[in-house]
Amino acid sequence: MQFAKYHALGNDYLVLPPGDRPLTPALVRRVCQRHHGVGADGVLWGPLPAGAGPAADFGLRIFNPDGSEAEKSGNGLRIFASYLWDAGLVGVAAFTVAIPAGVVTCQVFGPGREVQVQMGQVSFHSQAMPMSGPPREVLREVIRPGEGMAFTYCAASLGNPHCVILHEQPSAAVARQYGPLIEQDPRFLRRTNVQFMRVLDWHNLQIEIWERGAGYTLASGSSATAAAAVAYRLGLCAPAVTVHMPGGTLQVQLTADFQATLTGPVAKICAGQLAPELLAA
């Protein structure tokens, strides 16, 4: 089985083109394991036929390193777009990709290492997440992930769920300590990604990230988009912002109705073939 490995600001994915062997959760876990496998924050399974839904140029499935499937990934989509560029399957013209969350539009800028993705419309409604409780916009609610600890949070869905915590000093330690507790909080019916966000100024945000099914992450495109949308919804930032993460920065542009565009870099790491003993482990 062939593979290619890319990263987007340190958020690394393996691209596995479909072949004769099915992709199982167990195989995803093996290849993503950093000591016994290739190591990655997830697997991109494609290009696939776009399927029976809305017309698209390519199909893609996105897997977390625990073997679960993600509805959307901003960094994963940008990596997949760069992979398609390298394979000669796309040029500078925009193209569409069908994922579980719907169809998104991508565009690669030469020489293939800067990618823009139309991330769709951000919703703050509980039913879009989905969440327990009455139907509502989930803004400035309180979550208590530990003894004596309370955070103010907002929910944001891009087709995948996000819990954005307003925090004065986001850090890797905070994300690692509270992220897994919030991810598993029962109010989030399909678990959730977690962002600890600080507003630096009108045009800049800082976040630390705990990803559903992946853990602590250096960067995340959908997390950056969700955080920017929440800050804009609360009147804390401009519609165009730079989101700062440990791995680097991404640009998010929002419209008045919260349609989001994400732009940022991608880098190729390596390509090769998975060994038979890894596949048979």
pLDDT in tens, 97-144: 999 999 999 999 988 899 999 999 999 999 999 999 999 999 999 999
Does position 157 have pLDDT exceeding 90, yes or no?
yes
pLDDT in tens, 74-85: 999 999 999 999
Give the integer Cα–Cα distance in Å for 51 and 167: 41
Which of 88-92, 146-150, 181-185 is predicted with the least confidence, judged by mean pLDDT?
A: 146-150
On whether the CB atoms of residues 97 and 80 are closer than 8 A, the answer is: yes
* pLDDT for the residue 148: 86
Determine how many CB atoms are found less than 10 A away from the CB of residue 137: 14
Say whether 177 sits in a helix, a strand or coil: helix
Burial class (CB in 10 A: 0-12, 13-18, 19+), 234: middle
Which residues belong to CATH 3.10.310.10 in the chain? Answer: 2-113+266-279, 121-259
Does position 52 have pLDDT exceeding 90, yes or no?
no
**Across all residues in the chain, what is the average pLDDT?**
96
- The architecture in CATH of the region 121-259 reads Roll (3.10)
pTM of the model: 0.95
For the domain made up of 2-113+266-279, give the CATH fold.
Diaminopimelate Epimerase; Chain A, domain 1 (3.10.310)
Rg (CA), the chain: 18
Spatial CB neighbours of 235, under 8 Å, sequence gap ≥ 6: none
